Amino acid sequence: MESLDDLLIAARAWREHLAGLVVPASLPGAERRADALEALRNVERRIEEGPAAPVRVAFFGPTGAGKSKLFNSLIGEQVSPAGYLRPCTRRPIYYLHEKHSGMGRRIDGEVKLHGREAWAGLVLIDTPDFDSVEEANRSTAERIYLEADSFIFVTDVHKYADASAWSYLKRLAEEGKRCGFVLNKVEDSSAPAADLQLRLAEVFSPALSGGGPHQPVTAVADRPQRDEDLLPADDPGLAEVRRTLEDFLGAAEPVRARIRVESLRIDLRRFLRAWDDLSGPLRAFRGGLDRISAAVEDCAVRSRADLGQDLEERVDPALKEAVYREVLRRIDRIDILRYPRKLLALPWTGARELLRRYWPGFGQAVPAPAQPADPADAANFAAIERRIQEFTEAVVQVLRAEPACPGILDDEKRRELRLGHDEIRERFESVEAEFKGWVESQAHGAAAALTTDHKLKFFLSQLIFNTVVIGVQVKTAGMFTLAEAATAGVLSPLVAKAVGMAVSSDTVRTFEGVARREHTRRVGTILDAAQGRFLDHLRSLRQATGPLDDVAPGVEALRAAGETLLARWSGGGTP
């Protein structure tokens, strides 16, 4: 950062980055982002206007102190409304020389142009009350306090000891802003002015304020006149305020240049203080998010291990059956004697169809009773739901215990992130359906491999068995066909299954182990979804602090080069 142009470009970029920075409201220093942004806006404006721009002098004070009346009396006309209504000034009034009319387009307030050459270097601002009952007025007063280069601080004999006034006076002292003081509505006694002067000397002493410049108190007499009437042009207090404006607060060009440099220095200090107050907790917040993310991963690892143990004995026990069913289907396809057997069974089949004409229900299988819910599925669902609840509670405790990340998980966010009962069930049913489809697919492949590898064994077993069965059917004149039909044709499948078990037990056991692991993995995806919600939330929070990295290097460059840049801006020497 070698020039003010560099600083201007950087300030614009910083303001854009900070505007996009998401700071949790509960984080210490969160409110300082607004202060940093306001300071940057003023830095940009001061650099763009340059050191020769007019000095902004704000008439500042509490409600009813007489700011607007003093403002109008100095100007010599009713520019700003004054009256008994409180608050009277609701919008700031900027009294600006016509040759600087271009500035008026960027001013947030009512602009009044004039042609007084003696005040060409000043912008007088009548400000709403900083202790107004209306929040908008207080906010406007704070904005003008930050943008103003110097002040006419107006109070009266009734309000000069109020705490609200001294909070601003102490800020003026700490920052070193130029300020003239007016005690309004003073009667014959000079005691209030002397008392105020003593109090100001304590606050603005070098030990407390670093030598911040200030003027003696100007007392303005209380006059029995209407609020809208102006003070006489020859009023001694009014004349003293005019001298303060012209000699002390910047009507002369050399004074004005020094004040502008002082104002830029103050705004840079404001920004750096606000940045430090904001960035420190944000860096700690980031570290806390990293620790929480690691803890969430650990919780998930433990929950997956516990879930694996829960599911170890609860996988559907019919895994073998899926393979055996496929084996039987393929054995039936390679059974070359199935047609002779069906031919021998034709008499029985024909008699059954004839009887069905008169007795429709004859020979039909009795409908199987509705199958109850699979107890293995119910146990698996209970296991995954319990583990997810335990995982969620463990993560919530981790989030709430991290001191660097206060308040990032309120009750609403907790409800949003957790998986509820209905959602877990929906996911579980989907996973189980997909798993059973996968089992059928894998069983088909395993059976194909088995019947291919042991095709000759299956073929010989079926040939021998069916030869025996056909012989028995012939010798018994079909009675065996009737017996087999009465038992729903289970004899041949039983023998085929026995053969299948003999040749495929190792393959089926291997398949069952693979299936158990696959089932655990698929059910575990529900736990992954629960974990993912928390991790996504943490990642989004961390990502929102990304602008911190975009601003930090430039801020450190500003610390190193700030005074050099100010010296160049003031025209050479150290301002």
Asked if pLDDT for residue 273 goes beyond 80, the answer is yes
237 lies in the same domain as 322:
no
How high is the pLDDT of residue 488? 44
CB count within 10 Å of CB 24 equals 16
Q: Per the domain annotation, does 407 fall within a domain?
A: no
Residues 439 and 359 grouped into a single domain: yes
Query: Total structural domains in the chain?
Result: 2
Are residues 210 and 73 part of one domain? Answer: yes
Do 241 and 333 fall within a single domain? no
| CATH number of residue 148's parent domain | 3.40.50.300
- Mean pLDDT confidence for 81-103: 74
Looking at the fold, whether 241 and 344 belong to one and the same domain comes out as no
What one-character DSSP code corresponds to residue 337?
Answer: T
pLDDT, residue 575, reads 33
- Do 481 and 332 lie in one domain? The reply is yes
The answer as to whether 558 is a domain residue is no
Q: How far apart are CA 189 and CA 154, in angstroms?
A: 18
Structural domain includes residue 342: yes
In a domain, 157, yes or no: yes
Q: What is the pLDDT of residue 369?
A: 47
Same domain? For 228 and 346 the reply is no
* Mean pLDDT confidence for 383-391: 92
* Segments forming the whole domain that contains residue 146: 52-251
Helices 253-312 and 547-569 pack at an angle, to 10 degrees, of 170
CA 207 to chain CA centroid, nearest Å: 44
The domain boundary residue, chosen from 206, 230, 251: 251
**Does 190 lie in the same domain as 324?**
no
Q: Is the pLDDT of residue 163 over 50?
A: yes
Give tens-digit pLDDT for 170-198: 988 888 888 999 998 888 767 888 888 88
| pTM of the complete model | 0.72
| 3-class state of residue 151 by DSSP | strand
Assess whether 70 and 152 both reside in one domain.
Answer: yes
Assigned domain for 215 exists = yes
Question: Regarding beta strands 178-186 and 150-156, do their DSSP bridges make them parallel or antiparallel, or are they unpaired?
Answer: parallel
Same domain, 347 and 202: no
Confidence of residue 514 (pLDDT cuts 50, 70, 90): confident
Per the model's pLDDT, the better-predicted residue between 392 and 455 turns out to be 392
Is 289 within the bounds of a domain? no
- Taking residues 276-292, what's their average pLDDT? 93
In the chain, the largest separation of any two C-alpha atoms, in whole Å, equals 145
pLDDT tens across 296-335, in order?
999 999 999 988 888 865 555 455 566 666 666 666 665 5
Boundary-marking domain end, from 232, 251, 270: 251
Assess contact for 43 and 7: CB atoms under 8 A: yes
- Return the pLDDT at 153: 93
In this structure, what DSSP letter does residue 518 have?
A: H
Q: How far apart are CA 222 and CA 235, in angstroms?
A: 11
230 with 134, same domain? yes
pLDDT band at 531 (very low <50, low <70, confident <90, very high): very high
Give the pLDDT mean for 82-96. Answer: 66
User: Rounded mean pLDDT of the chain?
Assistant: 80
Task: Supply the Cα-derived Rg of the chain in whole angstroms.
Answer: 45
Q: Is there a single domain that holds both residue 57 and residue 184?
A: yes
- 164 occurs within a structural domain: yes
- Over residues 205-226, the pLDDT tens digits come to 754 444 445 678 899 888 877 7
Residues 348, 481 contacting (CB under 8 angstroms): yes
Of 568 and 58, the structure prediction assigns the larger pLDDT to 58
Residue 557's pLDDT band (boundaries 50, 70, 90)? very high
Structural domain contains residue 229: yes
pLDDT computed for residue 440 by the predictor: 78
- Residue 155 sits at φ, ψ, to 5 deg, of -140, 180
Structure token digits, residue 298: 């650990």
- What is the average per-residue pLDDT within 153-178? 88
232 has a pLDDT exceeding 80 = yes
- Does the N-terminal peptide bond of residue 493 adopt cis geometry, omega within 30 degrees of 0? no
